[in-house]
């Protein structure tokens, strides 16, 4: 009913959605199960900011993900889980089974005192129990905060403390390729620096030797065995928070992006349905981790709200070899596949020998998300995976937007390589210049903003609303600022160029330059550092760190400096995550600074890109000589 099936229809629906957004979105919202219907569709201002959708509506999102489908789809697979090891049996949970597991989990949460509004941290492998735990939180009215299991103890501490989580759900360990990560060990280190966690529930996945703290830690399987299969979903308000998800910004520590229930639900449902042209028999596979927003919206909520079958994959693209994705597609008969450019580029580099053994003939739509997809990767994906028969949907969106904003609708919107193409209905992008003046023509390049709220817009940054205002709503009055640069071509098609702020995108992972610098500076011999991104063939962006070390250290001692660089990588790994390790480290005598002490990253970026001849004006620098020194030692 809400599915757009032709380009003509898209144009009409889009027009309506802009002329009368409230009636457009309430049409979609009315298809859901409400415990009490909302009184009003929307109230908003971007000044405070204060945005509310479906005001005074009462609902539980899990009734819309699960209970609602039982009558017709009770025995349909909701989740198909594919383990890391291809020889381990995969697991399927039908809608009925998933609901029973979620209810049991709710009863455990209840037993340990979890109530509406509590924050629960989930630090787990990509296993069905993570999905069960996420949904159980939503069902009991607790706010889930999933922390990607690749993050370090330090990162976990920051995230638990920032939102004072009461409970941690984790596992003994996880499998990733041929490695085991001892999650509980990391969690134990973290828990020494947190005060709010009262209970830890541990799922046994690897069977690794772990310690359980008496009175605090309990086993998932022990608890589930005794738990009841019935649980009445908590009645929630439309604007109650559904989850917190930490993401990196241009300054300081990651911020907790908060999404609220009803708007997120409506937007996830609608964008999944349309972008991927969902059909009842689809086997949908999004390869993201649930630790990222893509996993929240398009492994869990979007598919389940539509009654779809969603694949959850524990492993990595290159284990046991670079054909794993393609082998799983054939094995599970995946119809719609959604992955990241960094994965596409890395599999492209492994060669077609890993692709040709597979048929891939179940595929109908292939998607991309997380970073700009370059022309070569787009065509490789189109030709070798989609066999030129599957539309490539290049979907642009952010943690803060909750769901896909600018993207082709499969088989509806004519695609164009490297273009995210056109805004989805209800999405109103504008491009502005540096002064905030709207560029109304086509064939322009500017800063991407939104001039009207959509239902799953960020509501706040947890515990610090001012930070939310400053970050997204203060750069230009009355606009939501995305942080991305963007071109609009002669056809009105959007092409995302990349971040214009100090946010890096390494293999689709968002990292702040400041975050990485702060970690590097923790090394006892580092005085100061500056981090920039540079083009990297596989990762999209690589991390280039310029570091100043203490004067008493002998920089001509190569063995020593190599050791130092290794240590720097270890420090970053420990403080943030291995994904944040610098690709290149250069020891420099100084950094290019303005007279007011600001690091001129523009110059460092040029050097990291190898564009030494084109540094622009450096006369305003405090010490222009330092630039020459840096160029001499550049690591290209």
Contacts to ligand 7RM from residues 491-510, by CB under 6 A: 496, 498-499, 505, 510
Say if residue 139 is exposed, middle or buried (CB neighbours under 10 Å; 0-12, 13-18, 19+): buried
Contact mark string toward ligand 7RM, 232..251, x via CB under 6 A: ---------------x----
Contacts to ligand 7RM from residues 465-484, by CB under 6 A: 482-484
Q: How many CB atoms lie within 10 A of CB 500?
A: 17
- Cα dihedral 185, 187, 192, 194, rounded to 10, equals 180
| In the complex, least distance from residue 196 CB atom to ligand 7RM, rounded to whole angstroms | 26
Q: How far apart are CA 622 and CA 628, in angstroms?
A: 13
Q: Of 95-103, 150-158, 396-404, 425-433, which part binds ligand 7RM (CB under 6 A)?
A: 396-404
Contacts to ligand 7RM from residues 261-320, by CB under 6 A: 292-294
| In the complex, least distance from residue 128 CB atom to ligand 7RM, rounded to whole angstroms | 23
Instruction: Tell me if 315 sits within 8 A of 305, measured CB to CB.
Output: no
- Is position 541 an interface residue for ligand 7RM (rule: CB under 6 A)? no
Q: Is 275 helix (H, G, I), strand (E, B) or coil?
A: helix
Q: Of 200-208, 279-287, 390-398, 555-563, which part binds ligand 7RM (CB under 6 A)?
A: 390-398
| In the complex, least distance from residue 67 CB atom to ligand 7RM, rounded to whole angstroms | 28
Q: Which of 398, 518, 555, 561 is in the footprint of ligand 7RM by CB under 6 A? A: 398
CB closer to ligand 7RM out of 205 and 510: 510
CB closer to ligand 7RM out of 325 and 397: 397
8-state DSSP, 438: B
Q: Which of 82, 101, 382, 394 is in the footprint of ligand 7RM by CB under 6 A? A: 394
Reference 461, options 49, 41, 45; nearest CA is 49
Q: How far apart are CA 279 and CA 293, in angstroms?
A: 23
| In the complex, least distance from residue 359 CB atom to ligand 7RM, rounded to whole angstroms | 27
- Is position 372 an interface residue for ligand 7RM (rule: CB under 6 A)? yes
- Is position 223 an interface residue for ligand 7RM (rule: CB under 6 A)? no
Which ranges of 202-252 does DSSP label H, i.e. alpha helix?
220-226
Q: Encoding tokens for residue 107? A: 């009863």
- Is position 399 an interface residue for ligand 7RM (rule: CB under 6 A)? yes
User: Which regions of 307-438 does DSSP assign to beta strands (E)?
Assistant: 309-313, 336-339, 365-369, 392-395, 429-432
Instruction: Tell me if 168 sits within 8 A of 187, measured CB to CB.
Output: yes
Q: How far apart are CA 348 and CA 381, in angstroms?
A: 8
Binding-site size, ligand 7RM (CB under 6 A): 23
Q: Which of 371, 382, 515, 517 is in the footprint of ligand 7RM by CB under 6 A? A: 371
Instruction: Tell me if 354 sits within 8 A of 330, measured CB to CB.
Output: no
CB closer to ligand 7RM out of 294 and 309: 294
| In the complex, least distance from residue 288 CB atom to ligand 7RM, rounded to whole angstroms | 8
| In the complex, least distance from residue 400 CB atom to ligand 7RM, rounded to whole angstroms | 7
Which ranges of 277-419 does DSSP label H, i.e. alpha helix?
293-295, 302-305, 324-332, 341-350, 375-380
CB closer to ligand 7RM out of 247 and 339: 247
Length of the chain in residues, anyone? 636
- Is position 397 an interface residue for ligand 7RM (rule: CB under 6 A)? yes
Residues that bind ligand 7RM in the complex, under the rule CB under 6 A? 247, 292-294, 369-372, 394-399, 420, 482-484, 496, 498-499, 505, 510
């Amino acid at each position: 009913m809400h599915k757009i099936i032709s380009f003509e229809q898209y144009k009409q629906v889009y027009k309506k959605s802009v002329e009368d957004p409230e009636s457009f979105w309430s049409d979609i919202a009315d298809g859901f199960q409400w415990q009490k219907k909302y009184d009003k569709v929307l109230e908003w201002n971007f000044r405070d900011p204060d945005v509310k959708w479906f005001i005074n509506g009462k609902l539980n999102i899990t009734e819309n993900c699960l209970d609602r489908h039982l009558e017709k789809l009770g025995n349909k697979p909701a989740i198909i889980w594919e383990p890391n090891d291809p020889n381990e049996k995969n697991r399927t949970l039908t809608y009925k089974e998933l609901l029973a597991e979620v209810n049991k989990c709710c009863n455990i949460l209840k037993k340990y005192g979890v109530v509406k509004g509590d924050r629960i941290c989930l630090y787990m492998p990509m296993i069905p129990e993570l999905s069960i735990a996420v949904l159980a939180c939503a069902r009991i009215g607790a706010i889930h905060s999933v922390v990607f299991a690749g993050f370090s103890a330090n990162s976990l501490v920051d995230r638990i403390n920032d939102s004072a989580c009461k409970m941690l759900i984790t596992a003994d360990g996880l499998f990733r390729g041929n490695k085991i990560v001892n999650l509980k060990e990391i969690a134990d280190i973290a828990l020494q620096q947190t005060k709010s966690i009262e209970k830890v529930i541990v799922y046994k996945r690897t069977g690794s030797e772990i310690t359980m703290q008496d009175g605090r830690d309990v086993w998932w399987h022990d608890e589930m065995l005794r738990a009841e299969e019935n649980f009445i979903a908590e009645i929630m308000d439309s604007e109650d928070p559904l989850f917190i998800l930490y993401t990196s910004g241009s300054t300081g520590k990651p911020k907790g992006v908060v999404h609220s229930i009803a708007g997120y639900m409506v937007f996830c449902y609608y964008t999944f349905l349309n972008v991927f042209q969902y059909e009842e028999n689809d086997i949908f596979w999004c390869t993201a981790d649930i630790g990222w927003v893509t996993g929240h919206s398009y492994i869990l909520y979007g598919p389940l709200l539509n009654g779809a079958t969603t694949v959850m994959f524990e492993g990595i693209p290159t284990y046991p070899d670079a054909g794993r994705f393609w082998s799983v597609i054939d094995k599970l008969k995946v119809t719609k596949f959604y992955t990241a450019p960094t994965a596409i580029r890395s599999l492209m580099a492994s060669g077609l020998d890993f692709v040709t053994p597979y048929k891939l003939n179940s595929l109908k739509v292939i998607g991309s998300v997380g970073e700009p997809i370059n022309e070569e990767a787009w065509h490789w994906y189109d030709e070798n995976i989609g066999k030129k028969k599957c539309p490539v949907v290049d979907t642009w969106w952010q943690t803060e937007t909750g769901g896909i904003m600018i993207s082709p609708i499969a088989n509806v919107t004519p695609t164009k390589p490297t273009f995210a193409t056109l805004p989805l209905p209800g999405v109103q992008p504008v491009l502005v210049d540096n002064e905030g003046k709207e560029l109304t023509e086509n064939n322009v390049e500017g800063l991407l903003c939104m001039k009207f709220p959509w239902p799953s817009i960020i509501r706040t940054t947890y515990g610090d609303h001012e930070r939310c205002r400053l970050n997204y709503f203060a750069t230009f009055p009355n606009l939501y600022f995305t942080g991305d640069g963007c071109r609009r071509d002669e056809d009105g098609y959007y092409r995302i160029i990349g971040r214009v702020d100090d946010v890096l995108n390494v293999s689709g992972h968002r990292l702040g330059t400041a975050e990485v610098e702060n970690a590097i500076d923790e090394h006892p011999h580092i005085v100061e550092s500056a981090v920039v991104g540079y083009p990297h063939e596989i990762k999209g962006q690589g991390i280039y760190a310029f570091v100043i070390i203490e004067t008493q250290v002998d920089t001509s001692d190569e063995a020593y400096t190599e050791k130092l660089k290794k240590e720097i990588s270890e420090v970053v790994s420990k403080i943030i995550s291995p994904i944040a390790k610098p690709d290149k480290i250069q020891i420099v005598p100084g950094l290019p600074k303005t007279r007011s002490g600001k690091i001129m990253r523009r110059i460092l970026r040029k050097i990291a890109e190898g564009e030494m001849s084109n540094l622009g004006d450096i006369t305003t620098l405090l010490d222009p000589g330092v630039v020459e020194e840096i160029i001499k030692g550049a690591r290209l």
